[in-house]
Amino acid sequence: MSSEPKDLYNHDPFQYDRYGLGTTSFSFSSNTSSMYEHKSPLVVDPSSQTLHGFTPPSYMSFTECLHGPVEYNTLASAFGMSPSSSEVFSCIEGDNKTLETTRGHDPIIGSTSEVPVSTNSSESSFSTEAGNEEYSSKSKKESETKGCEDGDDHPNKKVNKQKKKVEKRQREPRFAFMTKSEVDHLEDGYRWRKYGQKAVKNSPFPRSYYRCTTQKCTVKKRVERSFQDSSTVITTYEGQHNHPVPVTLRGNATAMLSNPMLAATPLAAPPQRFPPELLAHMMPPMNTQHASGGTSSNFFAPQPTIHFQQQQQYLNDHGLLQDLFPSLFFKQEP
């Protein structure tokens, strides 16, 4: 194993754990392992369970975020994608090591155990990492056995194993976020097939594993409920969709696509790339209901039309983005 994970871990994407109330830590890293970090105080409104200055993205669809060239999947846009009203109040992006952790300390759960994911949580965390390091052998197994020759009808797994050991696979970027939702599996417009379920240590709730059903799309997601707050669903996406959103959408997904705001969403917005979910989160409350409502909002509710660029402009004008993520404004792909 390379030392990369350790290094990453040392950077501690969960650093927000250490800074207590009113502090947030953002960590990003690209494939080159560069990392940006910035800590900035945020105003928290416990009653509304939201961070002021963090508003659900009404302008960007979840599916859009999941799809396409967006470097860091914008899953936070999932706000409102759930069949029932839900809120994403924390996002975590990282790699296996960061998210998966060390024994007995579930990465995600673990983070929440250190800083209780209470409804009045005062932290919001984003961290991104898309490492290049070896991926889990299981994934290799999956892609290889499915893909090809390995699969001779001989279940000679020993041989396969050796092949697998040699071959490395690039790690897919991961993105985790927590959502207040009654349902585990949030509708995001894509079609998923459940391929596994496991009991999670220290949690009464199982973790479900889903895979995108679209051919050749390797995106997966894990869904689990926080053991500390059963109303919180933790969803971890892995990979990026290489296909458009399936046409046949139901329920909210349909609503989402028919939402003029979403339709106007500039998929191609700024090419590279401030994670849209952050943009979304950092948007000041355009809708006063969000700012003062205090209740779980339905993010699909009609809202004033605001274009992405306008929102960005707003942020720029207020210096929010630069202040929070100066480096991201100049971030270049390697």
Report the nearest approach of DNA to the CB of residue 34 (Å).
22
CA R_g for the chain: 19
Q: How far apart are CA 23 and CA 123, in angstroms?
A: 6
Of 304, 306, 309, the closest CA to residue 287 belongs to: 304
User: Shortest gap between Cβ of 55 and DNA (angstroms)?
Assistant: 30
Task: Report the C-alpha gap between 35 and 11 in whole angstroms.
Answer: 8
Task: Please say which residue, 43 or 199, places its beta carbon nearer to DNA.
Answer: 199
Of the two residues 192 and 325, which places its CB atom closer to DNA in the complex? 192
Q: Which is nearer to DNA, 113 or 298 (CB)?
A: 113
Minimum CB distance to DNA, residue 149 (Å): 14
- Residue 166 and residue 143: Cα distance in Å, rounded? 14
If you write DSSP's letter for every residue of 299-334 in order, what string do you get? TTS------HHHHHHHHHHTTHHHHH-GGGGG----
Are 219 and 212 within 8 A, CB to CB? yes
Place of tokens 């889990």: 136
> How many residues belong to the chain?
334
Measured from the CB atom, is 156 or 310 closer to DNA? Answer: 156
- The distance of closest approach from Cβ of residue 115 to DNA in the complex, given in angstroms and rounded to an integer, is 18
Cβ-based nearer residue to DNA, 183 or 199: 199
Min. distance of Cβ 165 from DNA in angstroms?
6
Q: How far is the CB of 255 from DNA (least distance, A)?
A: 20
- Which of residues 193 and 318 has its CB atom nearest to DNA in the complex? 193
- Smaller CB distance to DNA: residue 104 or 304? 104
| DSSP string of 182-202, one letter each residue | SSSS---SS-EEEEEEEEPTT
Q: State the DSSP string of 21-40.
A: TTEEEEEEE-TT--EEEEEE
Q: How far is the CB of 62 from DNA (least distance, A)?
A: 18
Strand-pairing partners, residue 192, are 212
- Nearest residue (CB) to DNA, 18 versus 198: 198
User: How many angstroms separate the Cα of 7 from the Cα of each of 29, 114, 136, 298?
Assistant: 11, 21, 18, 39
Residues lying near DNA in the complex (CB under 7 A) are found at 1, 5, 96, 99-100, 102-104, 106, 136-139, 141-142, 145-146, 155, 157, 161, 164-165, 191-201, 207-209, 213, 220, 222
Burial of 8 by CB count in 10 Å (0-12 exposed, 13-18 middle, 19+ buried)? buried
C-alpha closest to that of 227 among 124, 117, 125? 117
Q: How far is the CB of 27 from DNA (least distance, A)?
A: 19
